[in-house]
Amino acid sequence: MIVRTLTFWSLVLSALAAPLVPYQIPIEGTRGHRGKFLHVTDIHIDPTYIPGSDPTFLCHRKNDNDTTLNVAGRFGALGKDCDSPVELVDAAFDFMKRNFSDEIDFVIYTGDTARHDRDAVKPRTEFDVLADHAAILNHLTKSFDTSKIRIFPTIGNNDVFNHDQMPYGEQPLTQNLTKLWEPLGLNLQEDEDFQIGGYYTREITPTLSIVSLNTMHLYKNNVLAADCNARKSAGTKMLKWFEKILKKARRDGRKIYVIGHVPPHNDEGHHAYHLACYNDYIYTLGTHYEVIAGQFFGHTNDDTIAFLHAHHPNKGPFHLETIIDKPPNVDLKTHKILHVISTAPSIIPFNNPAVRVYEYEKRGGRLVDYVQYWTDLNEDEQRGRVEFVEEYAASKAYGLKDLTTKSWIGLLKTLERNGTEMELAGQDDEAELGHLAAT
């Protein structure tokens, strides 16, 4: 055990090569009034992935009886249950470094770094989970100059030692992550909220802050988190903290970006949080909607948009609708849309891998646009090289002036008038193979 820990910390120390920097607010306007940031999610690096193995065995073993089943690609097995081969992760970071490291102000990384724990023959150890975290941290610090670019991580449901399970309170995992994430300059060691709850808030610019929620406290698969109608539930503690930040932001004239791993809704638009937590969460969003300038999630490995709407803004009841292939079922004459929640596609090749670059206004955080980049894994296999290309820009694909709620409402009204079906732009990256539930 000691030997393992030593090996682990020597891994970490190599990741620590980047200099430690104190947390600083970038000077507003140094690169113009607008800036860019990157959203990357669900990397799921798997150092045990074997190209040419059988996806039925999670790309960990070959099938000796029927070799025709050994179809795992060099860069991944599209739409299967396998995680990301190291070569795919390397290629994704190469692309992000080469193409974006000079132009972005910060990175939001919405979690699920580690491989899944799906293989009974190769169960994950705590060491494996931490080694996956160290590998991705190493990529992040090598790809981005952390003295200039803020990297804001969150904890995913596969980033914890036992799949989906995380208690509230101080624990080895958050202590390990504190140490691992030290090069990001977030000073998490001095942050009581992170030490106890795994969530934190930081300033991005003088008028814009980020709130990184630990959605494990809300997630309905986490049996260690009671629903929010139970006394002293972790979810309620976090949401009270969140509300305090929102109230203060309102008083100070600041805006907030919210990041988290599990979105409140899943792909089918059903609640992914414990029911009372879900209701409390969307109530908090609804009652403070003017303060929240953006919400970014991962987990579903899918490109989706959801709208939060209400008959009485600030009072509720509030409803959340996910767009799948038609406009949301909202009567725009009686209901006001308050929020747009974006869920980004992943690196793990559940669908074709993708990342997003957002354009935003440094003062106040108005979201202007995003461009999604993807790579076609089938083509990658043929050419023997991963090549990310632009998939679509939200402004062009949806004809939007910017990504404010007002602009989205304009689009929905036009669609309603035209009687047109709404098609989501990001469908190119979808695997043609059947849809699996995100785990």
Instruction: Catalog residues that contact ligand NAG under the rule CB under 6 A.
Output: 63-65, 98-99, 126, 172, 175-176, 179, 373, 388-390, 399, 414-415, 418, 420
193 in Cβ contact with 237 (< 8 Å):
no
The CB-nearest residue to ligand NAG is 175
Provide the CA 369 distance to its chain's centre, in angstroms: 18
Other CB atoms closer than 10 Å to residue 123's CB: what's the count?
9
Separation between Cα atoms, residue 431 and residue 328, nearest integer Å = 24
Residue with Cβ nearer ligand NAG (382 or 420): 420
Element (H, E) at 401: none
Q: Least distance in Å: CB of 127 to ligand NAG?
A: 7
Is the separation of the CB atoms in 391 and 372 below 8 Å?
A: yes
Distance of closest approach, residue 173 Cβ to ligand NAG, in angstroms:
7
What are 259's two structure tokens?
Answer: 């990041």
CB of 375 to ligand NAG, least distance (A): 10
Rounded to the nearest whole angstrom, what is the least distance from the CB of residue 316 to ligand NAG in the complex? 30
Question: Quick one: 69 or 276, whose CB is closer to ligand NAG?
Answer: 69
Name the minimum Å distance from CB 411 to ligand NAG.
6
Nearest to ligand NAG of 51, 206 (CB atom):
51
Give the burial class of 107: count Cβ atoms within 10 A of its Cβ; 0-12 exposed, 13-18 middle, 19 or more buried: buried
**Residue nearer to ligand NAG on the CB measure, 2 or 437:** 2
What are the CA-CA distances from residue 115 to residues 55, 72, 122, 159 (Å)?
14, 16, 11, 8
Instruction: Give the residues across from 358 on adjacent strands.
Output: 37, 370
**How far apart are CB 220 and ligand NAG at their closest, in Å?**
25
Q: Which of 332, 277, 334 is nearest to 307 (CA)?
A: 332
What does DSSP assign to residue 145?
Answer: -
Q: Which is nearer to ligand NAG, 59 or 438 (CB)?
A: 59
- Smallest Cα–Cα separation from 327: which of 206, 236, 414? 414
Minimum CB–partner distance for residue 188 and ligand NAG (Å): 12
State which residue, 176 or 214, has the beta carbon closest to ligand NAG: 176
Contacts of 361 (CB under 8 A, 6+ apart): 33, 34, 35, 368
Of 267 and 376, which has the nearer Cβ to ligand NAG? 376
Cβ at position 61, least distance to ligand NAG in Å: 7
User: Measured from the CB atom, is 317 or 399 closer to ligand NAG?
Assistant: 399
CB of 171 to ligand NAG, least distance (A): 9
Q: For residue 216, give the DSSP letter.
A: G
CA dihedral 214, 218, 220, 224 (to 10 degrees): 80
Instruction: Give whichever of 49 and 278 is closer to ligand NAG, judged by the CB atom.
Output: 49
CA trace torsion 324, 330, 336, 341 (10° rounding): -10
Spatial neighbors of 82 by CB under 8 A, at least 6 apart, are: 46, 49, 55, 58, 59, 72, 76, 349
> For residue 424, what is the enclosing H or E element?
none
